[in-house]
Structure 1
Amino acid sequence: MTVRAGFIGGGFMGAVHTRAVRAARGELVALASSTPEKGRAAALELGVGRAEADAAALAAASDLDVVHVCSPNAQHAEHALAAIAAGHHVVCEKPLATTVADAERMVAAAAAAGVVGAVPFVYRYHPMVRQARALVAEGAVGTILTIDAAYLQDWLSHADDHNWRTDAAAGGASRAFADIGSHLCDLVEFVTGRRIARLTARTRTVYADRGGASVANEDIVALLVELDDGALGTLLVSQLAPGRKNGLVLELHGTAQSIRFAQERPEELWLGRREGSQLVLRDPASDAPDSARLSIVPTGHPMGYQDAFTAFVADAYAAIGGAAPEGLPTFADGLRAARLTQAVLDSAAAGGVWIDTPHEEKP
Structure 2
Amino acid sequence: MTTDVIAPARTRRAGFVGGGFMAAVHSRAARAARADLVGAASSSPSRAAAAAERLGLGAGYDSFEALLADPDIEVVHICTPNTTHAAFARAALEAGKHVICEKPLATTTADAEALADLAAERGLVAAVPFVYRFHPMAREARARVAAGETGRLLSVHGAYLQDWLATPRDDDWRVDTALGGPSRAFADIGSHLVDLVEFVAGERIVRLAASTRTVYAERADHAAIETEDLVALVVELSSGALGTLLVSQVAPGRKNALSIELAGTDASVRFEQERPDTLWIGRTEASSIVERDPARLAADAARLSLVPAGHPMGYQDAFNAFVADAYAAIDGARPEGLPTFADGLRAARVTEAVLASAERHDWVEVAA
Same fold (TM over 0.5): yes
Displacement of 1:7: 0.3
Q: Which of 28, 34, 52 is the equivalent residue of 2:37?
A: 28
Query: In structure 2, what is the equivalent of residue 115 of structure 1?
Result: 124
Alignment partners' CA distance in 2, 1:338 and 1:57: 30
SS at match of 1:276: coil
Q: TM-score, normalised by structure 1?
A: 0.97
Displacement of 1:33: 1.4
Task: Kindly provide the amino acid, as one letter, of the partner of residue 209 in structure 1.
Answer: E
Post-superposition CA distance 1:88-147 (Å, at most 9, x none):
000000000011111011111111211110000000000000000000000011111111
Displacement of 1:58: 1.7
Task: Kindly provide the amino acid, as one letter, of the partner of residue 123 in structure 2.
Answer: G
Query: In structure 1, what is the equivalent of residue 267 of structure 2?
Result: 257
Query: In structure 2, what is the equivalent of residue 150 of structure 1?
Result: 159
Matched, 1:137 2:149: no
Q: Which of 247, 251, 254 is the equivalent residue of 1:244?
A: 254
Alignment partners' CA distance in 1, 2:47 and 2:211: 39
Task: Kindly provide the amino acid, as one letter, of the partner of residue 146 in structure 1.
Answer: S
Query: In structure 2, what is the equivalent of residue 65 of structure 1?
Result: 74
Q: Is the 8 A contact 1:60 1:82 kept in 2?
A: no
Post-superposition CA distance 1:232-255 (Å, at most 9, x none):
000000000000000000011111
Query: In structure 1, what is the equivalent of residue 7 of structure 2?
Result: none
Q: TM-score, normalised by structure 2?
A: 0.96
Counterparts of 1:35-184 in structure 2, within 5 Å, are: 35-184=44-193
SS at match of 2:231: strand
Alignment partners' CA distance in 1, 2:351 and 2:96: 29
Q: Is the 8 A contact 1:56 1:79 kept in 2?
A: no
Q: Is the 8 A contact 2:171 2:222 kept in 1?
A: no
Q: Is the 8 A contact 1:29 1:48 kept in 2?
A: yes
CA RMSD between the two structures = 0.8
Alignment partners' CA distance in 2, 1:236 and 1:273: 24
Task: Kindly provide the amino acid, as one letter, of the partner of residue 358 in structure 1.
Answer: A
Alignment partners' CA distance in 2, 1:59 and 1:13: 20
Matched, 1:337 2:347: yes
Q: Which of 219, 224, 234 is the equivalent residue of 2:244?
A: 234
Q: Which of 167, 184, 196 is the equivalent residue of 2:205?
A: 196
Alignment partners' CA distance in 2, 1:59 and 1:84: 10
Task: Kindly provide the amino acid, as one letter, of the partner of residue 41 in structure 2.
Answer: A
SS at match of 2:160: strand
Alignment partners' CA distance in 1, 2:195 and 2:66: 33
Alignment partners' CA distance in 1, 2:226 and 2:69: 34
Post-superposition CA distance 1:129-173 (Å, at most 9, x none):
000000000001111111110000000001121111010110000
Displacement of 1:61: 2.1
Identity of aligned residues (%): 64
SS at match of 1:21: helix
Q: Is the 8 A contact 2:176 2:222 kept in 1?
A: no
Counterparts of 1:13-24 in structure 2, within 5 Å, are: 13-24=22-33
Query: In structure 2, what is the equivalent of residue 292 of structure 1?
Result: 302
Matched, 1:272 2:303: no
Alignment partners' CA distance in 2, 1:13 and 1:215: 24
Q: Is the 8 A contact 1:200 1:344 kept in 2?
A: yes
Matched, 1:7 2:16: yes
Alignment partners' CA distance in 1, 2:29 and 2:213: 35
Q: Is the 8 A contact 2:277 2:292 kept in 1?
A: yes
Q: Is the 8 A contact 1:269 1:281 kept in 2?
A: yes
Task: Kindly provide the amino acid, as one letter, of the partner of residue 115 in structure 2.
Answer: M
Displacement of 1:57: 2.1
Alignment partners' CA distance in 2, 1:251 and 1:77: 33
Alignment partners' CA distance in 2, 1:321 and 1:229: 36
SS at match of 2:141: helix
Alignment partners' CA distance in 2, 1:44 and 1:184: 34
Task: Kindly provide the amino acid, as one letter, of the partner of residue 226 in structure 2.
Answer: A
Q: Which runs of 5+ in 2 are unaligned?
A: 1-9
Displacement of 1:276: 1.3
Displacement of 1:54: 2.2
Task: Kindly provide the amino acid, as one letter, of the partner of residue 106 in structure 2.
Answer: A
Greater shift, 47-56 or 221-230, is seen at 47-56
Q: Is the 8 A contact 1:132 1:259 kept in 2?
A: yes
Alignment partners' CA distance in 1, 2:291 and 2:317: 17
Alignment partners' CA distance in 1, 2:253 and 2:222: 25
Q: Which runs of 5+ in 1 are unaligned?
A: none
Greater shift, 37-46 or 183-192, is seen at 37-46
Query: In structure 1, what is the equivalent of residue 327 of structure 2?
Result: 317
Displacement of 1:279: 0.8
